[in-house]
Structure 1
Amino acid sequence: MLNFQNKNFYQSLLNLSLYLFVYYYFVRVVYVYYKLAKYISLDFYRVALFVPAVIFITLAAYHYFKNIQQLKNNIYLNSFLSLFAIIVLSIIYHFIFRLDYMSDDVFSYQIKNLSYSILNALLGFYLYQQLNSNSSKKIIFVVWFFYAIMLLINLNGFALDTKGVSGVHLMLGDTFIIISIVAIFMNINHKILKIISLSAVLILAYLINSRSSFFSFLVVYLFFLYKEIGLKNLLYLFVLMFFVAFALYYFDLLRINKRMFGVFQGHSDGSLNERMEQFKYGIEAIKNNWFFGEFAGQAIVHTQGYRSGQMGAYMHNWLSYYRQFGLVFFVIFTLMFVYAGLFILKEWYLKNTPIKNMLYYLFVFEAVSLLVFRAYSFTHVWLVMVMLYSYIHDKNIKNLSEKA
């Protein structure tokens, strides 16, 4: 950990990180979900996010340069800086050569993704430090509680009422689960209460109607139950849950959501078919641009051989990083992610602590999401990555001091 000489300055960064985490992962979602632009000016909403974010990033940069002698040999930090340098170079390349099928909207989309990536990375560092504060942990828990209430009061049958907002289920699913993991594991120590809380999160994740978030969290839930109650009890629990679900379904008290489970029942799935098509074109793009990648490839729509600019047409998995930023970025990013995962897996397996549990389950959620469902444009992976490396750095410092 760094030596912070100006405690007030450091505390300001911590407070800003907590504010921005709550705003980005909760307030922003509420604003979009409830279509509050009709009541609260979009300019006010943006100012409330972007002004603190700019101040936060500026102060963090100042903080870095004040401690540059201490940080310049930090291999983890330098690796992150290398990754962001590649992203910036990709955007500069796009700005200079302006590919003919890329619109100004797509260019703005790239800048937004870069900004959110930087913001999440910095939030990961300072929020990790902030979690030493009991008041901060309680604030996040209260936010999670209200988030869950918001979802419950907006249910429409066996699914969340998305209020006609396109794609909002993706935002809801990921942000709710990330806040849930942080809030529950940093505040609840009782085993039964944790099981109940995470079971409630699983149910709500199902009702949100985001398959990627639900199935990624389902893996987290299974790992958690395995660690807490053992494999034998886990099997007993699933047998019990199966019979309960069957009884509810038989008496028409439970409806199978075709969107969530239709793929297992052989139903036609337009979203899945589209993703497979995007994956096929993504692999072709990687083959044709195996070293540098194809920046802005997520915005290329292939229609009968014609390439046109449109946002959202990306590979929905880990390989999107390769397509977007090339081989060097992909190798560095993958090695860093795998190393962090193996490190926290070992720590989690040896001993349970709130911070280890939180970091491990965040890693599992991100790993499953990126391997199967998500692309580089889902920037919360940077939050988790930097939190993991903050823990690794602190652990290494502690080990060195113990040997001295």
Structure 2
Amino acid sequence: MKKEAINVGIVGLGTVGQGVIRVLRENKEFIEQKIFPRKIVLKRIADKDRNKILPESELYKIFTDSTQEVVVDPEIDIIVETIGGFEPARSFIVQALKSGKHVVTANKEVIARAGYEILNLAQENRIYFLFEASVASGIPIIGALSHSLTSYKLKEIIGILNGTTNYILTKMSEEDKEYNEALKEAQKKGYAEADPSKDIDGFDACNKIFILSAIAFRAKIDPDKIYYEGIRNISKLDIQYARELGYTIKLLALAADDGQQLDIKVHPALVPKRHTMANVNGAYNGILLRGEGFGDLTFSGLGAGALPAGSMIVSDIVNIVNNFDNYKNYYSCFKKKEIKDFKKTQSPFYLRIRVKDRPGVLAEIARSFAKNEVSFASVIQKGEAGGIVDIVFLTHRAKEGDVQEALKEVIRLECVEKICSTIRVVEI
């Protein structure tokens, strides 16, 4: 006889955990239509804060401040992990899987650092470890990659995967705000943490592009070899000059398969204003998938928040319930692949260099770049003649390593005050 009541336990009752509770309760009837004749029963919820404020009084009847109590409960079938961070979340997930419980999480840090190990453990025990909400929150991108886009090989992923940085860059672009001003506004509105470093330094986006690359390219890769860079050094001037040149600046997570190596990286980039990805604004995420056969597919949606993440977690719960007696291994066949040395990657560059305005400056700078096989597509001087001015260069496509070597020489020139900005241009 099939088990009709599937018991769920939630560990971690922050924004996402409470979002899951809200989705389960507010949409109970609609969800049960999807899983009939089964039902989802919220059995236990846990948070280390014993004074946690819950949205409804009856939830206190199933509340505990002991995560362990939920993990070891023999009646619970599915654990939802929304603690966040690497430990103790990883240990709770492993313990739950070893005890035969299915696990759903939104924890990209655990997946990036221990995902292969955890997926192997789940496979050995023929139970589910699902993580749709770990990337782009409300966008069902992992399901698209693992279930839908299985007929042709994917060639490329271009993603705006962090809502915090996209919100900041949008405010800088649309309202002419400086970086620090836009960051404070993002924090005030809840789009940025008190310590926003994981977001603004590119670490969060790095974890997410790792997850997408592993699934899209069926690859076993080392996340520590992915180059990532954030938006701390992007100024209002760069936003303005990029606009004049026909570009918008976005923090992009990029992955491409050349058949031998994977080119995976995260960095700010100039994106042509006419392109769809340049118009993904605010706290929204956007993902472009490029593949053989189906061409370009673009996904866009809210990249954070209680309900977007909560709805994707519930979609994973529904998936498990519908396949409760018919285990399917969604994530296998990971083949080891190398990540291309970042110094060998190529792109055009936007460079802003501050110089003393005098005859021969351009020739001196051009010589250093030419020696390193970097040529210019355009050169624009900004500022009044005779003083300290900025020169904006757009290069032709060049190797990362060659550009960096050229810049080392340029900064030593007597006429150069500062290398203000080095931003890659993405040719979409």
Q: Which has more radius of gyration? A: 2
Higher RCO (CA 8 Å, separation ≥ 6 residues): 1
**Pairwise same-fold verdict (TM > 0.5):** no
TM-score, length basis structure 1: 0.26
